[in-house]
Amino acid sequence: MRISVFGLGYVGSVSAACLAERGHEVVGVDVNPTKVELLSRGQAPVVEERIGELTAEVVASGALRATTDVAEAIRATEISLICVGTPSAANGSLSTAYLERVAEEIGAVLAGLDRWHTVVFRSTMLPGTCTDLLIPILEKESGKTAGVEFGVAVNPEFLREGSSVKDFFDPPKTVIGELDSRSADAVAAMYVGLPGDVFRVPIAVAEMAKYADNCFHGLKIAFANELGAISRALGVDSHKMIEVFLADTKLNISPAYLKPGFAFGGSCLPKDLRGLVYAARRADVAVPLLSHVLPSNEEHLKRAIELVTATGKRKIGLFGLSFKPGTDDLRESPLVELAERLLGKGYDLKIYDSNVALSRLVGANREHIEGRLPHLSDLLTNDVAEVFAHAEVCVVGSTEPAVLEALAEPGDRDVVDLVRLPDAEARRATQGYQGLGW
C-alpha cells in the first residue's frame, strides 16, 4: 500500500518506519523541515530502541521518504495516517489545534483529488473528536462527503516509548474505529499478519479505548505505589506481597470485576478498604487513590438514584436486594442503601429477591437489615409479578430468570438497569429505558 504519515514524532516516526519495513511505500510528512531533512538522510527524528537502524534501512531501500508538502504526499498515496500531537491545554483539556490544521490541509487537497483517499486518525483524542470536529472540517474543506467520497477511520496506537518498535510488530490488539467498511478494510490491510485480535468498532469506541488503556495503566502504577508506601510503613516487603497478589489470575490480573455495573458492597470490600486507609492514616502515609475508592463508589450509587428521580414517578419495583447474585448477604449491599434512600425520599417501594427471606436471616446479616430497613417485611415479597404490577419504574439489580421473564412482558413502565440486561442494546432505543453506565 501507499501510505502517508503526518507527524514525525514518536508515534509517526515509528509507524512510518515499521510500515515501510513491512513492505508498504511510505511518505512521512511534517511541518518541521529539520525532521524531514533528518529522515531523508536516513536518520530517525526521535531516540528510540531499534528505530535508528530501521529508519536507515527503509530510507536506503526507497520504502520511506519524507516531505513538508501535504499535497504531494496525498497525491502520492492512498491512505493517510495522522499522528500529530494532542497535548493538554492549560486547563487540562485536550488541544486539537494540530489535528484541526492537518484536517484543513488534507481536506483542501481532497477537493481536487478525483479518486478515493482514506484519512486515518491515529492521534489520541476524546470520543466525539473525529465525528463532531474533524470530519466536518474535512467535508467543509473538500466539499465532499465522508464515507461516500473519501474514507475516514480511527486507529489508536498502543506503543510504549522505549519499546515502541517491538510493540508495533507485537501489538496486544489492533483497534479500528470505522465510519465506512472500505476504509476499515484498508486499515486492517496495513497490519495483516501481525499478532493480536483485531477490533472493528464504532469510532467513539476506538477513541475511548485508548483512554481506557492509559488511565488503567496509570491507575495500576498508583495502586502499586500506594500499597508499597503502606507496606513499608507497616514493615511489609511490598515486592513479596505483590508476587502473591499477581499469582491470582482468576480475580486480580483478569477480566474479573472489569465491567461497568452497579456499586460494590458486601462484608469485605468496603470494610477492608476502610481498614487499610485507616492504617495508612495512622502511619502518616497519604493514599489519595485508595482513600477515594469508597467515595467513587458512593457517587455511582448517587447516579442510580438520580436515574430513578429523573423519571418523576413514585411507585418503584426493586428487583434484587443482596449485595451480589446467588447470596442472601445484605451487609453493606448497595441495593439496600438504594432502597433506604428511596424510602427516605418518600417513594412507594416493593422489593423482590428470591434469595432473601426474612425467616432465614440470622446473626449479623439480620441485625444489619433490621437497622437499615426495619419495615422490610412490608416491602419484600417472593412474588415477582406483585412487584411488577406495583411498579411504575422497575429498578433492575438482578438477572434472575423470573425477573427477566417479568420484564419481557409488554408495558409502559420505565426501566432503570443497574446490571446491563441481556437485551440492553435493544432497550436503549426505547423510551423509558436508562442504563447506569451504558
Query: How far apart (Å, rounded) are the C-alpha atoms in residues 352 and 317?
Result: 8
Question: Catalytic: 394?
Answer: no
* Rg of the Cα atoms in the chain: 27
Catalytic one among 18, 83, 215, 268? Answer: 268
Burial, 60: exposed, middle or buried (Cβ in 10 Å; 0-12, 13-18, 19+)?
exposed
Query: How far apart (Å, rounded) are the C-alpha atoms in residues 388 and 379?
Result: 13
Tell me the residue ranges of DSSP E strands in 129-192. 151-154, 173-178
125 to each of 86, 99, 117, 314, 354, how far by Cα in Å? Answer: 7, 9, 22, 41, 46
434 HSE (CA, 13 A, CB side): 17
Tell me the residue ranges of DSSP E strands in 256-392. 315-319, 348-352, 380-381
Query: How far apart (Å, rounded) are the C-alpha atoms in residues 394 and 11?
Result: 48
Pairing mode, if any, of strands 315-319 and 151-154?
unpaired
Contact 339, 321 (CB under 8 A): yes
Contacts of 309 (CB under 8 A, 6+ apart): 345
Query: How far apart (Å, rounded) are the C-alpha atoms in residues 261 and 417?
Result: 9
Contact 177, 155 (CB under 8 A): yes
Give the amino acid at 372. R
Residues recognised as catalytic: 268
